[in-house]
Chains A and B, each alone.
Chain A
Amino acid sequence: MSGAPAEILALALLAAVLGTAVVRPRGIPEVAVAVPAALLLIVVGAVGLDAAGDEIEQLAPTVAFLAAMLVLADLCEREGLFSAAGEMMARASRGRPVALMALVFAVAAGTTAVLSLDTTVVLLTPVVFATVTGLRLRPRPHVLACVHLANSASLLLPVSNLSNLLALRATGLSFTRFAALMALPWVAAIAIEWLVLRRAMAGDLALRGRPEPSGGTDRPHRVPRYVPAVLAAVLAGFVAASPLGVDPAWVAAAGALALAVPALARRRARPADLAQAIGVPFLLFVFALGVIVAGVAAHGLGDAVDALVPGAETLPALVATAFVAALLANLLNNLPATLLLLPPAAAAGPGTVLAALIGLNVGPNLTYTGSLATLLWRRILSRHGHDQDLGEFVRIGAVSVPLILVVSSAALWLALQGVGP
């Protein structure tokens, strides 16, 4: 099968996979639809067996890297790193909301950069929520800060976002060079988030909480010293690995092992917990999604996306690339959008890939839930009794996202002039 029928089938299957991910009918995980969909595309010949094999081979090192980082983050949580961060924020803020938001910004930006946006959304956000309610403050500004930074602060390092990990191989940039080029766009994105949220949430931030969190008499969480030490060593390892020709995935694996051994020995984690942390279904899902997107790209849409990506690395071209990427991320979800955009962006050069990442990573704040489909589904649900919709949060994203796309792309352009592509 090829041409228009193949394109239609591949797009329909992609829509079905993303639809399952959003709706989760009867709790069916997305992998249960994605793998059969990928196999179907191979069986009907819409994706050749060789092409599918190539795609999986290309994705394999990135997926291994991701697995190691997922284990690392999970073990950090088991050792109480995030609970300790919550207690630190509560103590240091002394119930002052603006001080607390500054601390949330610092912790969320750091967590996202080093341990990825997933960690911030899944592990840090509940801690921030608990910290804020413990101080008898309103959660909105702090929760929004945490969630927004999970996307905006994921520009800095290749490990901050799965899209960056995928792009790292496509660009051929080293870990250090990636970080050097993205540092300025990252700072710009965080600064804009601060200005926008500080203003949008001024009312809630004018209140005063109590200086001591509730449950202050509980024994504070003590994080074993080796946990931050291992994280620091992993970061240093990432920087050192590229010049030595070592794949950074090995560094992440070594870090995961360094935390896993004491956690297993002290019975803070069982082997089954670690297996669960790896998230095998998700890794399979990434492979299957790669094959499906290869099918989507091979029969026409790839050329259409090629035409949308400006080839040059001038300032207007970088800004345009970021906007195209943000649009695509909101239409699809950032992961399939990354898989679709990377080949044409990589052909244009590393600057274009990094501009695309600005759009792919920051863009999801626009629809708040990461894609239009999720937002629409939420709206449908809200008509059936859930009386909350995400309108207020979407309005804030509508201010911050375009600003960040422009300013961070300009910052990237400056970095490209200074550091060189």
Chain B
Amino acid sequence: MKALVWLRAESWEALAEAAASLLPAHAEITLLHVADAGAELAAEAPAAGLLGRRRHRPPHHTIEAISDEAAADLLAAAAERIGREVATEARRGRLEDVVVEAAEDADVLVCARDGDRDHRGPKSLAPPTRFVVDHVPCTVILAWPEAPPEGGPPPPPPPPPHHRRP
């Protein structure tokens, strides 16, 4: 059984716990971190507007290098927390695309809710994770990053259109 764990910085602990407690002992676990290429671009692109005033940074100071170091740190922390033999993988790109592609040959994907965590409901999945859950071909384990919020029964369905006030 191939299991892919999509690590996110803010929910890595819950993901590690879920992987350790829910995945069977024989599962081949891969921890995946995807660096958000959009955020890296956001930090780098404006220098182009400075014309010759942009300066050349030493390689270890580039945004990519900083980002890679943070990813390695996160993958190591999660691997240690799971306490089993795991493979780690660091990629970069558009989050949802990279994860869906990586999950193509996985049997299980473990990911976490990344939207509004104060209320249960559809908004608890932000767009990247919503896309991933909708498009991966495998079974999905969806973790709450912290204890799930208190919540009674789901709200009543919206009234049919002709009852709505204009």
Chain A residues in the interface with B (C-beta under 8 A): 21-22, 29-31, 70, 117-118, 121-122, 125-126, 128-130, 133-134, 136-140, 143-144, 146-147, 150, 162, 203, 206-209, 214, 279, 281-282, 285, 333-335, 364, 368-371, 374, 378, 387-388, 390, 392-393
B10, B46, B48, B116: which contacts A150 (Cβ < 8 A)? B46
Contact A388/B38 with A133-B9, A208-B10 known, Cβ cut-off 8 Å: yes
Given A136-B12, A207-B114, A282-B53, 5 new contacts (CB under 8 A): A128-B43, A133-B67, A140-B42, A143-B42, A203-B126
9 CB contacts below 8 A, A to B, read A136-B12, A143-B43, A150-B46, A214-B70, A281-B52, A369-B46, A374-B48, A378-B45, A392-B38
CA distance A119 to B63 in the complex (A): 16
Q: Is B26 an interface residue (CB 8 A)?
A: no
Q: How many A-B residue pairs have CB under 8 A?
A: 137
Chain A residues near B66 (CB, 8 Å)? Answer: 126, 129-130, 133
Q: Is B37 an interface residue (CB 8 A)?
A: yes
Instruction: Assess the A374–B52 pair: CB atoms within 8 A.
Output: no
Q: C-beta contact mask, B12-49 vs A, less than 8 Å → 1, else 0?
A: 10000000000000000000000011111111011111
Chain A residues near B53 (CB, 8 Å)? Answer: 70, 118, 122, 162, 279, 282
Q: Is B51 an interface residue (CB 8 A)?
A: yes
Interface residues of B in 75-125 (CB under 8 A from A): 93-94, 97, 114-118
> Shortest beta-carbon distance, B2 to chain A, in Å?
25
Contact A387/B43 with A138-B10, A279-B52, A279-B53 known, Cβ cut-off 8 Å: no
Chain B residues in the interface with A (C-beta under 8 A): 9-10, 12, 36-43, 45-55, 57, 61-63, 66-67, 69-70, 73-74, 93-94, 97, 114-118, 126
Chain A residues near B47 (CB, 8 Å)? Answer: 121-122
CA distance A129 to B70 in the complex (A): 10
Chain B residues near A281 (CB, 8 Å)? Answer: 52
CA distance A130 to B60 in the complex (A): 12
Instruction: Assess the A129–B67 pair: CB atoms within 8 A.
Output: yes
Nearest A-chain residue to B74, judged by Cβ: A136
Instruction: Assess the B52–A30 pair: CB atoms within 8 A.
Output: yes
Contact A387/B93 with A129-B63, A133-B67, A203-B126 known, Cβ cut-off 8 Å: yes
Chain A residues near B70 (CB, 8 Å)? Answer: 130, 133-134, 136, 214
Main secondary structure of the interface of A (DSSP, over half): helix
Instruction: Assess the B94–A374 pair: CB atoms within 8 A.
Output: no
Chain B residues near A70 (CB, 8 Å)? Answer: 53
Instruction: Assess the A147–B52 pair: CB atoms within 8 A.
Output: no
Contact A22/B54 with A139-B43, A143-B43 known, Cβ cut-off 8 Å: no
> Shortest beta-carbon distance, B159 to chain A, in Å?
28
Chain A residues near B62 (CB, 8 Å)? Answer: 126
Instruction: Assess the A138–B49 pair: CB atoms within 8 A.
Output: no
Chain B residues near A136 (CB, 8 Å)? Answer: 9-10, 12, 70, 74
Chain A residues near B117 (CB, 8 Å)? Answer: 206
A125, A279, A374: which contacts B43 (Cβ < 8 A)? A125
> Shortest beta-carbon distance, B111 to chain A, in Å?
15
CA distance A80 to B97 in the complex (A): 38
Residue in B37, B39, B97, B114 with the greatest tally of chain A CB atoms within 10 Å: B39
CA distance A272 to B2 in the complex (A): 55
CA distance A213 to B142 in the complex (A): 27
Nearest B-chain residue to A207, judged by Cβ: B10
Contact A140/B39 with A121-B47, A370-B46 known, Cβ cut-off 8 Å: yes
Instruction: Assess the A30–B51 pair: CB atoms within 8 A.
Output: yes
